[in-house]
Amino acid sequence: MTPCGRVGEGRKHPLEAGAGNLSKLRVSQGYVANKWRRRATEADVNDRNTIIRVKNCSKVFGRRAQQALEMRRSGRNKAEVERDTGATIGVFDANLDVRRGEIFVIIGLSGSGKSTLLRLINRLIEPTEGEIYLDGDHVSKMPIKQLRELRRRKMGMVFQHFGLLPNRSVLGNAAFGLEIQGAPFSERRRAGEEALEMVGLHGQGNKLPAELSGGMQQRVGLARALATKQEILLMDEPFSALDPLIRRDMQNLFLDIQGEVQRTVVFVTHDLDEALRLGHRVAIMKDGEIVQLGTPEHILREPANEYVERFVEDVDYAKVRTAESVMIPADDVAYPNEGPTVVLRRMRQAGLDFIPVVDDERYFIGMCEVEEVARLAERNERELKGAMDTMTPRVERHTWLREILPLFVEQDVPVAVVDGEDGRLEGLVVHGSLIAGLTTSAELSNGGRTTSFHGGHPEGATLRGSDASRATGEEG
Ligand SMILES: Nc1ncnc2c1ncn2[C@@H]1O[C@H](COP(=O)(O)OP(=O)(O)OP(=O)(O)O)[C@@H](O)[C@H]1O
Ligand SMILES: [Mg+2]
């Protein structure tokens, strides 16, 4: 049998995992001045989970901005507008809500407007039109002093090259953001060390950046962003300078840390695998416009148009889908003290080659193969235990398919999907469902039972029938 073990790391959606962490991170909102602070209207914030709202935002670079927008609205494309007016449309009529604690990814080709959109959020770039709200506060109308305070306390930005200070120690770099925030020395030191530990650089604090490898330096940069405890992180292609292996490490590290600290992250990338891997939701941009916004699964299943379809056609499903998206419900289970004859009968009736064994509380114990059960039945054994393989692999909902694939190489035994915390059986990945998940976005049929795909992302549960089509139609 395949060696036992838990495969992959869990990945929880913030709304699923203890939202309590957020309150710890919530920084002082003392920068708020009432004069300009307009409590948003019902349309602005009707959802407590919305932390950033971008409303009808456009940014035109160049003089004839209004004319350019009018032309664009009348149906002319970005290139035509640019040719006729000399103005460049950076972002056109963007609308999006970022939910508290989610990783929101913006993806698109070079020049599609990703960085511009990101910079509109913290007003490094002023919108030509439209509004941006942060927790209901009107960022686009904020006086500059408060805006600076907001950037310092609440909303950090991480660029492609983390920009370490070469003459400062690793710890000094990790704590640099806090220094800018004016935190006292002791706090800087503590938070800096804590952050270094999080990124696996414990004990390296006294070194200079140049004494570390490229990947380690990148981790110092991540530590710096984490140490500040800003509630929102805007990240512009933070991993793009890394080679693919280190990049994957950083993505995993980032997901791990994010699972613990749950910042709200707006993450820009032009790498589709990265987007689908990291994002709870993804916005795809083209020529300054958001052409589709939804969960990774939604985008893969229902590309909004031909452009998105082409954009996602080469995606490697093994890297971006999780156990959850291919698991089937474990409706038939057996208990260890049941008689083999009874279980055999059930298995034959349902046409099962394998049956998972669970205890009274549905904790997964092992897997039984029909032939083993038959052997015990023949010998008139009383209990099923003798047929049970307890070394069978188990994974979590959020385990990537690429980690599950090798488990099927040597044998064709269903893989148990268990609850990360206590090992309760949640479903099974069977060979057929896995293959379907790697090759198609269509529905998956299993011996008369139909399980719909649902991304390893936000609202979580495996759904069936009409629930599923509603859920995957989810947009955001
Ligand atoms: N400061 C500027 N002045 C004039 N045009 C600009 C400016 N910044 C961006 N643009 C234009 O706005 C459009 C969007 O640029 P942006 O930098 O947002 O693209 P991007 O999606 O981040 O691209 P990349 O993947 O190359 O970083 C492009 O056409 C670009 O030329
Ligand atoms: Mg950019």
| Closest to 323 (Cα-Cα) out of 223, 182, 176, 430 | 430
pLDDT, residue 33, reads 27
How many angstroms is it from 156 CA to the middle of ligand 1? 21
Same domain, 115 and 244: yes
3-state class (DSSP) for residue 464: coil
The 3-class secondary structure across 133-174, one letter per residue, is EECCEEHHHCCHHHHHHHHHHCEEEECCCCCCCCCCCHHHHH
Query: What tens digit of pLDDT does each residue of 25-42 get?
Result: 222 222 222 223 233 333
Q: Could you tell me if 384 and 369 are in contact, meaning their C-beta atoms sit under 8 angstroms apart?
A: no
Tell me how many domains the chain contains.
2
pLDDT at 154 exceeding the cut of 70: yes
pLDDT, residue 232, reads 93
pLDDT at 459 exceeding the cut of 80: no
Cβ contacts of residue 267 below 8 Å, gap of 6+? 103, 104, 105, 106, 235, 238, 275, 278, 279
- Please report which ligand is nearest the Cα atom of 114: 1
Same domain, 346 and 243: no
Residue 45 is part of which domain span?
Answer: 41-154+230-315
Nearest atom in ligand 1 to the alpha carbon of residue 91 is 14
pLDDT, residue 156, reads 84
**Residue 190: inside a domain, yes or no?**
no
**Residue 180: inside a domain, yes or no?**
no
Question: What's the whole-number mean pLDDT along residues 85-107?
Answer: 96
Rounded distance, CA 407 to CA 392, Å? Answer: 10
Pocket test for ligand 1, best of 82, 115, 239, 270 (most atoms within 8 A of CB): 115
- Range with lowest mean pLDDT among 45-59, 399-413, 451-465: 451-465
pLDDT, residue 79, reads 95
Question: What's the whole-number mean pLDDT along residues 395-402?
Answer: 88
pLDDT, residue 267, reads 95
Q: Could you tell me if 288 and 81 are in contact, meaning their C-beta atoms sit under 8 angstroms apart?
A: no
For 75, left (φ over 0), alpha (ψ -120 to 50), or beta? left
Same domain, 256 and 363: no
Between 87 and 385, name the one with better pLDDT.
87
How many angstroms is it from 334 CA to the middle of ligand 2? 54
Between 471 and 74, name the one with better pLDDT.
74
Q: Which of 292, 315, 338 is the last residue in one of the domains?
A: 315
Query: Which tokens hold the place of 73?
Result: 């609205």
How many angstroms is it from 78 CA to the middle of ligand 2? 17
Question: What's the whole-number mean pLDDT along residues 232-247?
Answer: 83
pLDDT at 173 exceeding the cut of 80: yes
pLDDT at 474 exceeding the cut of 70: no
The 10 Å CB-count burial string (b at 16+, else e) for 166-198 is: eebbbbbbbbbbbbebebeeeebbebbbbbbeb
Rounded distance, CA 184 to CA 328, Å? Answer: 53
pLDDT band at 186 (very low <50, low <70, confident <90, very high): very high
Same domain, 276 and 377: no
How many angstroms is it from 82 CA to the middle of ligand 2? 19
Task: Provide the H-helix boundaries in 262-312.
Answer: 272-278, 296-301, 306-312
Q: How far apart are the first and last CA of the chain?
A: 43
**Residue 104: inside a domain, yes or no?**
yes
For ligand 1, atom 26, which residue shows the shortest CA distance?
A: 110
**Residue 451: inside a domain, yes or no?**
yes
pLDDT at 226 exceeding the cut of 90: no
pLDDT band at 378 (very low <50, low <70, confident <90, very high): very high
Q: Share the mean pLDDT of the chain.
A: 80
For ligand 1, atom 31, which residue shows the shortest CA distance?
A: 111
CA 66 from centroid of its chain's CA atoms? 37
Between 88 and 240, name the one with better pLDDT.
88
Q: Please report, for the domain that includes residue 390, its CATH number.
A: 3.10.580.10
Pocket test for ligand 1, best of 112, 160, 266, 290 (most atoms within 8 A of CB): 112
Same domain, 386 and 462: yes
- Please report which ligand is nearest the Cα atom of 94: 1
How many angstroms is it from 113 CA to the middle of ligand 1? 6
pLDDT at 255 exceeding the cut of 60: yes
How many angstroms is it from 111 CA to the middle of ligand 1? 5
| Closest to 235 (Cα-Cα) out of 50, 104, 81, 428 | 104
For ligand 1, atom 19, which residue shows the shortest CA distance?
A: 111
Same domain, 441 and 330: yes
- Please report which ligand is nearest the Cα atom of 90: 1
Question: What's the whole-number mean pLDDT along residues 175-191?
Answer: 88
pLDDT at 421 exceeding the cut of 50: yes
How many angstroms is it from 124 CA to the middle of ligand 1? 13
pLDDT, residue 49, reads 87
Nearest atom in ligand 1 to the alpha carbon of residue 118 is 18
**Residue 305: inside a domain, yes or no?**
yes
Nearest atom in ligand 1 to the alpha carbon of residue 288 is 14
Same domain, 268 and 389: no
Same domain, 394 and 256: no
Q: Could you tell me if 476 and 365 are in contact, meaning their C-beta atoms sit under 8 angstroms apart?
A: no
Q: Which of 275, 290, 315 is the last residue in one of the domains?
A: 315
Q: Which residues are near ligand 1 (CB < 6 Å)?
A: 61, 88, 90, 108, 110-116, 270
Query: What tens digit of pLDDT does each residue of 293-310 get?
Result: 999 888 888 899 999 988
**Residue 16: inside a domain, yes or no?**
no
Query: Which tokens hold the place of 146?
Result: 């408060």
Between 33 and 72, name the one with better pLDDT.
72
- Please report which ligand is nearest the Cα atom of 63: 1
**Residue 380: inside a domain, yes or no?**
yes
- Range with lowest mean pLDDT among 41-55, 319-333, 365-379: 41-55
pLDDT at 61 exceeding the cut of 80: yes
Place of tokens 């385990």: 399
pLDDT, residue 160, reads 67
Question: What's the whole-number mean pLDDT along residues 157-182?
Answer: 85
pLDDT, residue 400, reads 86
How many angstroms is it from 299 CA to the middle of ligand 2? 22
pLDDT at 448 exceeding the cut of 50: no
pLDDT, residue 131, reads 95
Question: What's the whole-number mean pLDDT along residues 200-219?
Answer: 88
- Range with lowest mean pLDDT among 62-71, 104-113, 366-375, 457-466: 457-466
CA 390 from centroid of its chain's CA atoms? 32
